[in-house]
Amino acid sequence: MNQRFAIIMGATSGIGLEVAKTLASLGWTVGIAGRRQELLQQLQRKQLNIVATECIDVTRDDAPERLQALIGKTGGMDLYFHSSGIGYQNTELDMERELRTVETNVLGMTRMVGAAFHYFEAHPERPARLAVISSIARTKGLGPAPAYSASKRYTSNYLEALAQLCHIRRLRHISITDIRPGFVRTALISGGNYPLQLQPEKVAKQIVKAMERGRSVVTIDWRYRLLVFFWQLCPRWLWVRMRIIKDA
Ligand SMILES: NC(=O)c1ccc[n+]([C@@H]2O[C@H](COP(=O)([O-])OP(=O)(O)OC[C@H]3O[C@@H](n4cnc5c(N)ncnc54)[C@H](OP(=O)(O)O)[C@@H]3O)[C@@H](O)[C@H]2O)c1
């Protein structure tokens, strides 16, 4: 089998970390990135097939250059997987948190996905996949997390737009995957009292399976697929009147 190369952005913890480990165990040659260099190096030391690391902050202008350096060190890129993201419960509408969320999840995601798209565009000789984690939070505006839910809606729409752009520009070698997990037990939601939490290891396996099957959209897991089905039927007038958390 041809050697396959994956770059994981946001691999220092949570879902990105587990996806990196899963791909490496399946024989992919993996390059990983995030801001916490020490964690990246630890993971590289522990896991066979993770061959390169790069300290990348997606909110910085130099991030695309650093991605290019990581691709070079890894040996190529057939899969770009974007897991980097932040989120808060923000019923106080703390502007610093709102803007930081937009900077990372909207601007940072757009910057990095754009850089990966241009790389794939310039390498039509191999099939390529661009996969990004949005969330089921994209389904409706969430009062307790306004910037987060809106940023995930943006992510989904952006990926849909890129998928159409690939058709318009006949970039048939590029595939796009929008990954929409429910609550996953990671640092992102630690401390909160969230129901139905999924294990990151299991979520990573389902993500990898969905990508290998060439899925363009995947909601994880089946219980959340059911929930989202009914949730999106809820009319706006009713949704905005629902007090979805206590004491706010
Ligand atoms: N946990 C959930 O319930 C859940 C549900 C649906 C969707 N998601 C989404 O899944 C993705 C991964 O989150 P997680 O749950 O795995 O949380 P996590 O453990 O906190 O992981 C977040 C990752 O994003 C990276 N990151 C954050 N800011 C960054 C920046 N400025 N530049 C580069 N990397 C950055 C972090 O690395 P560094 O700190 O080292 O930079 C870390 O590796 C996020 O997009 C999140 O919105 C999570």
Residue pLDDT, tens place only, 102-159? 999 999 999 999 999 999 999 999 999 999 999 999 999 999 999 999 999 999 999 9
**CA neighbours within 13 Å on the CB side: how many for 77?**
31
Give pLDDT, residue 18: 98
- Mean pLDDT in the chain? 97
Peptide bond into 61 cis (omega under 30): no
Place of tokens 């070698």: 173
* Range in 1-5, 132-136, 144-148, 237-241 with the lowest mean pLDDT: 1-5
Distance 192 CA to ligand 1 centre (A): 16
Give pLDDT, residue 1: 61
Residue pLDDT, tens place only, 199-210? 999 999 999 999
pLDDT of 92 strictly over 80:
yes
Average pLDDT over every residue of 164-170: 98
In the structure, which protein residues have their CB atom closer than 6 angstroms to any atom of ligand 1? Answer: 10-16, 34-36, 56-59, 83-87, 104, 108, 133, 135, 181, 183-184, 186-189
Distance 247 CA to ligand 1 centre (A): 27
141 in Cβ contact with 91 (< 8 Å): no
Distance 35 CA to ligand 1 centre (A): 11
Name the token pair of 180. Answer: 């929409």
Distance 9 CA to ligand 1 centre (A): 9
Distance 74 CA to ligand 1 centre (A): 22
Residue to mutate, 66, 83, 149, 196, ligand 1, most ligand atoms under 8 Å from C-beta: 83
Give pLDDT, residue 207: 98
pTM of the model: 0.98
Q: How many helices (H) and strands (E) does the chain have?
A: 9, 7
Query: What domains sit in the chain, N to C, each tagged with a CATH number?
Result: 5-239 (3.40.50.720)
Residue pLDDT, tens place only, 95-116? 999 999 999 999 999 999 999 9
Residue pLDDT, tens place only, 37-63? 999 999 999 999 999 999 999 999 999
Query: Which residue(s) pair with 52 in the sheet?
Result: 31
Measured by CA distance, the residue closest to atom 19 of ligand 1 is 14
Distance 216 CA to ligand 1 centre (A): 21
Residue to mutate, 101, 110, 180, 186, ligand 1, most ligand atoms under 8 Å from C-beta: 186
Give pLDDT, residue 193: 84
- List the 128-133 sheet strands across, edge first: 50-55, 29-34, 5-9, 79-82, 128-133, 174-181, 217-220
Give pLDDT, residue 248: 54
| End-to-end Cα spacing for the chain | 55
- Please report the atom of ligand 1 found closest to the CA of residue 82: 45
- The confidence band for 246, taking pLDDT boundaries of 50, 70 and 90, is confident
- The confidence band for 245, taking pLDDT boundaries of 50, 70 and 90, is confident
